[in-house]
């Protein structure tokens, strides 16, 4: 392992310790990029250039999501400032009573949407249509965000049983087909999902009961003077729901998924923002009001995204896909080098291999991309010489670990989209998710050890 990778992993360890201790890590991230950049280039001036390149890469990676979330937030601001959002209270009548019912309602809708179109567009869709209603029904925004991240980026993405993009990517590294993983992926997914969801619900219930998190006041609307009559406000909300319904139908009919689905939902939100301004305000005021909504939406999103750009830039440096773009030609993939070093120098008893693979999966996921390690975790599982069934088991476990860690449940900078639509700090969501997800990992790794000993050894 080279000196650059050693420097990178040392800086990574320092930053992870700071995160665990709940310290602000922006300055540490800047210093870490400067140190790694200087070590690689051998020139502190070029190290400063690397700093800017890393931040640019971090922003480039987040730019499509940033724009989409900003447009969604702009629409919610438009509905709020026109006072049209007060009719959302009608939707809350159909939510189950109690924050537990609302929590699971948000989660189930997020799960269903994520299975069909993947989590990022599902966040935009659920955030636009259901989060305002959920908070009005009394669910604290941080738990709405927790529900969305666990059910969407955890349950739905880690299985990806409908689209099957994730299993296909993971299996390819092991020389398998996506369907080959299902015999072990399904039972491990069930253990992880049930354990995590139950644990998260219990922790939420205890936190609310102790007063650590106050419930939102149901249907507590701010006093806002409507700029137009009730008929126009009802028309705004009706058109908003109908336009989003048309977008959903279009996604289903035209099989629109992933980034295209996110773009469709974001564009739909922008159209609804314009409609709200045109209907609610006089002709001369409408353009200025719509511009104001967009400015506020982008300002709000930047406040959430900005603290994470440096961190994303640093962790992108360790990703083989981005390292040469940031550091320059010949840059190592520090995370891959570190994992290879561990595999070559640490001997692990076969019954403990699931624990070892889970640790490797976590290391591959710290950049928060959610997909970086999928292409190699199958190759790692193959290197242990456990036979076909053992490879399938470990590859399935690796997929679950990588998605749950880096996909958007416990790495703060991977939860920025959810944090933005819910108006909460991503570090608060990570704090709420950490214990339930760790409990889920413990149960899942234990189940994998049992299956390995019974069927594969």
3-state SS, 259-320, equals HHHHHHHHHHHHHHHHHHHHHHCCCCCHHHHHHHHHHHHHHHHHHHHHHHHHHHHHHHHCCH
What's residue 221's pLDDT? 47
Residue 166: pLDDT above 90? no
Domain assignment of residue 240, yes or no: yes
φ/ψ of residue 36, rounded to 5 = -65, -40
Provide the sign of the torsion angle of the four alpha carbons 196, 202, 205, 211, taken in this order. negative
Give one word for 258, left, alpha or beta, with left for phi > 0 and alpha for psi -120 to 50. Answer: left
Residue 11 maps to a domain: no
Average pLDDT, the chain: 84
Compute and round to an integer the Cα radius of gyration of the chain: 23
The stretch 71-86 carries a mean pLDDT of 83
Is the pLDDT higher at 152 or at 164?
A: 152
Residue 90's pLDDT band, with cuts at 50, 70 and 90, is low
The answer on pLDDT for 284 being more than 50 is yes
User: Is residue 323 situated within a structural domain?
Assistant: no
pLDDT of residue 206: 87
Q: How many domains does the chain have?
A: 1
Average of pLDDT values for 131-135? 79
What is the band of 372 on the pLDDT scale with cuts at 50, 70, 90? low
Mean pLDDT, residues 112-129: 82
Is residue 43 pLDDT above 60, yes or no?
yes
- Under the banding of pLDDT at 50, 70 and 90, the label for residue 45 is very high
What pLDDT, on a 0 to 100 scale, did the predictor assign at position 406? 83
Q: Is residue 111 part of a domain?
A: yes
Name the pLDDT band for 190 (thresholds 50, 70, 90). very high
Report the candidate in 370, 376, 367, 369 with the shortest Cα–Cα distance to residue 394: 376
Q: Quick check: 325 pLDDT over 80?
A: yes
User: What are the Cα distances from residue 314, in Å, to 11, 333, 384?
Assistant: 9, 13, 31
pLDDT digits (tens, 9 = 90+) for 193-224: 999 999 999 999 888 877 656 555 444 445 56
Give the distance between the most distant pair of CA atoms in the chain.
Answer: 75
More confident residue, 92 or 146: 146
Of 34, 37, 216, the C-alpha closest to 135 is 216
User: Which pLDDT does position 411 carry in this prediction?
Assistant: 87
423 within some domain:
no
- The whole domain housing 293 covers 67-159+224-304
346-370, pLDDT tens digit by residue? Answer: 777 888 889 999 998 888 887 776 6
Rounded to two decimals, the pTM is 0.80
- The verdict on residue 148 lying in a domain is yes
Which conformational region is residue 440 in: left (phi greater than 0), alpha (psi within -120 to 50 degrees), or beta?
Answer: alpha
Which has the higher per-residue pLDDT, 371 or 305?
A: 305
Burial 111-144 (b: 16+ CB within 10 A, else e): bbbbbbbbbbbbbbbbbbbbbbbbbbbbbbbbbb
pLDDT digits (tens, 9 = 90+) for 396-435: 999 999 999 988 898 888 888 888 888 888 888 988 999 9
Q: What is the pLDDT of residues 213-260, one digit of tens each?
A: 655 544 444 556 666 777 888 888 889 889 988 988 998 888 887 778
How far is the CA of 74 from the CAs of 14, 91, 115, 229, 417, in angstroms?
37, 21, 26, 22, 14
Contacts 24+ apart (CB under 8 A), 307-310: 307/26, 308/58, 308/62, 308/412, 308/413, 308/416, 308/426, 309/55, 309/58, 309/59, 309/62, 310/26, 310/29, 310/30, 310/33, 310/54, 310/55, 310/58
pLDDT at 436: 95
């Amino acid at each position: 392992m080279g000196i650059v990778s050693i420097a990178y992993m040392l800086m990574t360890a320092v930053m992870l310790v700071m995160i665990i201790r709940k310290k602000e890590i922006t300055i540490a991230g800047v210093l870490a990029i400067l140190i790694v950049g200087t070590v690689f280039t051998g020139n502190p001036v070029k190290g400063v250039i690397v700093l800017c390149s890393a931040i640019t890469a971090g922003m480039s990676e987040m730019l499509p999501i940033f724009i989409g979330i900003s447009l969604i937030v702009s629409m919610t601001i438009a509905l709020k400032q026109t006072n049209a959002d007060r009719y959302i209270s009608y939707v809350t009548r159909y939510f189950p009573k109690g924050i537990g019912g609302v929590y699971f309602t948000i989660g189930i809708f997020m799960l269903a949407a994520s299975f069909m179109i993947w989590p990022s567009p599902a966040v935009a869709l659920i955030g636009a249509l259901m989060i305002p209603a959920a908070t009005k029904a009394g669910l604290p925004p941080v738990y709405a965000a927790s529900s969305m991240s666990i059910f969407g980026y955890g349950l739905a993405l880690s299985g990806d049983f409908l689209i099957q993009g994730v299993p296909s990517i993971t299996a390819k590294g092991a020389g398998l087909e996506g369907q080959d993983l299902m015999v072990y992926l399904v039972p491990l997914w069930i253990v992880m999902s049930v354990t995590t969801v139950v644990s998260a619900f219990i922790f939420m219930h205890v936190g609310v009961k102790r007063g650590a998190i106050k419930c939102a006041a149901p249907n507590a609307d701010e006093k806002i003077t409507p700029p137009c009559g009730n008929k126009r406000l009802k028309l705004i909300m009706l058109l908003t729901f109908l336009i989003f319904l048309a977008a959903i139908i279009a996604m289903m009919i035209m099989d629109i998924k992933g980034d295209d689905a996110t773009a469709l939902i974001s564009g739909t939100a922008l159209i609804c923002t314009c409609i709200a301004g045109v209907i609610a305000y006089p002709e001369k005021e409408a353009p200025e009001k719509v511009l104001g909504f967009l400015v506020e939406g982008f300002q709000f999103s930047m406040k959430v995204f900005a603290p994470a750009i440096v961190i994303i830039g640093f962790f992108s440096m360790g990703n083989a896909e981005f390292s040469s773009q940031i550091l320059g030609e010949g840059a190592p993939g520090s995370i891959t080098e570190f994992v290879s070093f561990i595999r070559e120098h640490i001997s692990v008893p076969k019954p403990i291999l699931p624990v070892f693979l889970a640790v490797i999966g976590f290391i591959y996921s710290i950049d928060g991309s959610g997909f970086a390690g999928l292409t190699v975790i199958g190759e790692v599982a193959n290197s242990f010489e456990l036979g076909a069934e053992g490879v399938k088991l470990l590859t399935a476990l690796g997929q679950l670990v990588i998605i749950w860690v880096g996909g958007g449940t416990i790495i703060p900078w991977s939860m920025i989209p959810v944090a933005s639509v819910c108006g909460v700090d991503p570090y608060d969501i990570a704090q709420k998710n950490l214990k339930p997800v760790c409990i889920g990992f413990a149960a899942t790794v234990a189940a994998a050890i049992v299956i390995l000993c019974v069927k594969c050894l």
